[in-house]
């Protein structure tokens, strides 16, 4: 019988390193904003470029980073990525202009784009197929919790120790993550040979095309990626404008936006905990109902805002919680399905394409949200986007049988690759 995830020491070490590294990704955000926005009095456009500097490398280099993660030892890539980011964060203490900050953050984003597919590939090596869904639920919980807790902790640290000391602390988290990854086993020879077999003469361009082709050949993964991309696009579109929507309410609490953000993050954590306890579920239907939940949550929020319903301190966080739970139902099952259906030697390429798609959605979403709200108004924009998601839910359910019928050879993992690294030391 397969060991439980909690008994898999290598997996525990990996997700601990991921948690520390992911926290490091977000820990310096408030310090950077404080430095650029308050000390240097940056313009609104300069502030927008801060987040864009971090996101662009993932969007542009995701597939390339994934191909590199499949060609090289993943453990080494993760360590190099963490050490490099630790050094780059230290360089922020020496930055004297906003352009230096942009360059440092862009370089940090490049190494983050390498870490993610390498981590997903390493997870595939360490965890058996029957435990993949639980493992992906746990890693998604870590990602969502660090996104919520990172800026909060950063704000506390900036207030307590000053922004430059936060950079030192943030840098230390990456070095600590690298030390933990050192404890992981290298890729077993059988898995390494599998990765390299028939690849001696292949080019990096060929590897990039293989990742895209693998997804295109699987109707399940292709449509799942479409649902994920659209859901994330509308999430970002609406999230970026929710503060504008809340301004339409009378007597609105100044803390309401913070409550909504916290509730949304908590919703994703709830979904992660729920799915981590389940080993068998229909990932596609969970994604469909997640799309429905996101659309319904934002739609009801727009309608209640239009009628200026009282007690917004209750119903806004509640609806944000529903949206967060629903978002988790889209993201987590899809990532688990990708891990199940992708051979270990292709995980980097496949997740590189996925990360590029999702990051592009996070970049386009806020820009599209601002444009749409400007053209048709904030409440109509929420109604339109929620209606599109609800319509997408019904279309997805109608095409369920067609999507789920696919050739087994496309998604079947190659034998002997799962848990290869963990078998090496057992």
Q: For residue range 273-300, what is the model confidence (pLDDT) as tens digits?
A: 888 777 677 888 888 999 999 999 999 9
Q: Which of 1-15, 303-317, 327-341 has the lowest mean pLDDT?
A: 1-15
* CA distance readout (Å), 132 to 100, 128, 268, 325: 41, 6, 18, 20
What is the model's pTM?
A: 0.69
**What SS3 state is found at 82?**
helix
Residue with structure tokens 């502030």?
Answer: 47
* Mean pLDDT across 58-80: 81
Residue with tokens 């964060």: 89
Q: Is the pLDDT of residue 345 over 60?
A: yes
Place of tokens 């934002």: 298
Q: Mind listing the domains of the chain with CATH numbers?
A: 1-200 (1.20.1250.20), 202-407 (1.20.1250.20)
Half-sphere exposure of 353 (CA within 13 A, CB side): 21
Instruction: Dig out the tokens for 325 from the structure.
Output: 């739970």
Give the C-alpha separation, 138 to 132, whole Å: 10
Counted residue by residue, the chain has a size of: 426
**Over 80: is that where the pLDDT of 415 sits?**
no
pLDDT of residue 298: 92
Give the 3-state secondary structure of residue 404.
helix
Any idea which of 101-105, 186-190, 240-244, 368-372 has the lowest mean pLDDT? 186-190
Q: Which residue has the tokens 């503060």?
A: 243
Tens-digit pLDDT profile for residues 116-153: 888 878 887 888 777 777 777 777 777 767 766 776 67
Residue range 255-270: mean pLDDT, rounded: 79
Three-class secondary structure of residue 417 per DSSP: coil
């Amino acid at each position: 019988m397969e060991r439980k995830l909690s008994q898999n020491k290598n997996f525990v070490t990996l997700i601990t390193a991921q948690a520390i590294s992911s926290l490091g990704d977000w820990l310096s955000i408030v310090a950077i904003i404080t430095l650029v926005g308050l000390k240097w009095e940056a313009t609104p456009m300069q502030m927008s470029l801060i987040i864009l500097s971090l996101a662009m490398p993932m969007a542009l280099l995701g597939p390339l980073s994934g191909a590199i993660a499949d060609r090289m030892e993943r453990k080494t890539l993760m360590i190099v990525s963490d050490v490099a980011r630790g050094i780059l964060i230290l360089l922020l203490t020496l930055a004297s202009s906003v352009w230096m900050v942009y360059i440092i953050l862009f370089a940090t984003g490049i190494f983050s784009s390498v870490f993610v597919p390498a981590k997903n590939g390493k997870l595939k090596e360490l965890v058996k197929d029957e435990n993949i869904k639980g493992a992906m639920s746990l890693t998604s919980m870590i990602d969502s919790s660090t996104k919520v807790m990172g800026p909060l902790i950063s704000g506390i640290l900036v207030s307590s120790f000053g922004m430059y000391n936060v950079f030192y602390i943030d840098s230390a988290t990456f070095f600590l993550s690298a030390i933990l990854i050192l404890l992981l086993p290298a890729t077993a020879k059988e898995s390494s040979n599998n990765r390299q077999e028939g690849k001696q003469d292949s080019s990096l361009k060929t590897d990039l095309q293989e990742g895209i082709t693998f997804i295109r050949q699987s109707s399940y993964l292709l449509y799942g990626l479409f649902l994920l991309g659209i859901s994330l696009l509308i999430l970002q579109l609406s999230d970026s404008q929710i503060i504008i929507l809340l301004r339409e309410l009378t007597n609105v609490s100044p803390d309401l936006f913070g409550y909504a953000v916290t509730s949304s993050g908590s919703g994703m954590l709830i979904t992660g905990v729920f799915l981590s306890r389940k080993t068998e579920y229909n990932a596609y239907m969970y994604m469909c109902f997640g799309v429905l939940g996101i659309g319904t949550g934002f739609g009801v929020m727009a309608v209640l805002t239009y009628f200026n319903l009282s007690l917004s301190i209750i119903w806004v966080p509640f609806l944000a919680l529903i949206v967060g739970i629903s978002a988790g139902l889209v993201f987590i099952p899809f990532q688990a399905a990708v891990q199940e259906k992708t051979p270990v030697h292709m995980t980097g390429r496949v997740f590189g394409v996925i990360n590029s798609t999702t990051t592009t959605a996070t970049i386009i979403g806020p820009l599209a949200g601002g444009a749409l709200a400007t053209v048709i108004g904030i409440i109509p924009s929420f109604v339109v986007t929620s209606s599109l998601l609800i319509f997408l839910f019904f279309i997805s359910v109608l095409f369920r049988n067609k999507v789920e019928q696919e050739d087994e050879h496309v998604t079947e993992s190659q034998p002997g690759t799962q848990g290869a690294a963990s078998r090496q030391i057992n």
